[in-house]
């Protein structure tokens, strides 16, 4: 019959010497903390970045001051697609970041007639742009250049987008907005 020892018998290590309880617990806790911080740093630096939306150009999909996660790694494995919400460096001032929806990819012909967007001569159905966020602005037909994307904000009357600064080169795009986490009523995947 084996026993764990009586309350008066010290716990012995592998070498038979008593084991001090306080130091190993602290060492294990510190080790776990360092590993957790390293994993968190890796995720934030290389995979997901928390971002605060500033402005109203993506309403109602994204509200001003909403907190979201941006996947910075996804476009290494899959192409940027029409409908994606992406974060990119503003072409006229790369120190600023913008968030917009991809409307056209390289080779697409884009035109806007009185607010209706056409991609390759087909009217684009945009259920993410309610009537109160639409505008009557027109834009002449343009072909999206190679390695570039045409971006529009969902709040068309309040958005500075490709209608103003032209298509965005793929090198400026650094992530896909994937998940909202604050406020709690907006918690979930972005579409």
Catalytic residue among 61, 100, 148, 159: 100
Our measurement of the distance from residue 147's CA atom to the centroid of its chain's CA atoms, rounded to an integer in Å, reads 20
Q: Which residue has the tokens 């917009």?
A: 100
| Candidates 57, 61, 159, 162; catalytic one | 57
Known active-site residue 148:
no
Cis omega (within 30 of 0) for bond into 18: no
100 given a catalytic annotation: yes
Half-sphere exposure of 98 (CA within 13 A, CB side): 22
The verdict on whether omega for the bond into residue 183 sits within 30 degrees of 0, i.e. cis, is yes
> Is residue 173 helix, strand or coil?
strand
Active site positions, annotated: 57, 100
């Amino acid at each position: 019959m084996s026993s764990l020892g009586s309350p008066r018998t010290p716990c012995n290590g592998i070498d038979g010497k008593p084991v001090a309880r306080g130091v190993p617990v602290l060492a294990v806790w510190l080790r776990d903390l360092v590993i957790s911080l390293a994993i968190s740093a890796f995720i934030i630096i290389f995979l997901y970045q928390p971002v605060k939306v500033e402005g109203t150009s993506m309403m109602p999909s994204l509200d001003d001051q909403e907190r979201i996660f941006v996947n910075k790694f996804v476009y290494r494995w899959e192409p940027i697609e029409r409908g994606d919400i992406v974060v990119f460096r503003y072409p006229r001032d790369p120190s600023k970041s913008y968030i917009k929806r991809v409307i056209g990819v390289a080779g697409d012909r884009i035109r806007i007639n009185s607010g209706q967007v056409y991609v390759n001569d087909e009217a684009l159905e945009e259920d993410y742009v309610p009537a109160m966020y639409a505008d009557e602005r027109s834009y002449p037909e343009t072909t999206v250049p190679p390695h570039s994307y045409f971006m529009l904000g969902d709040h068309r009357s309040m958005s500075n987008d490709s209608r103003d600064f032209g298509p965005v080169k793929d090198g400026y795009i650094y992530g896909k907005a994937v998940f909202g986490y604050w406020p709690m009523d907006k918690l979930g995947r972005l579409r």
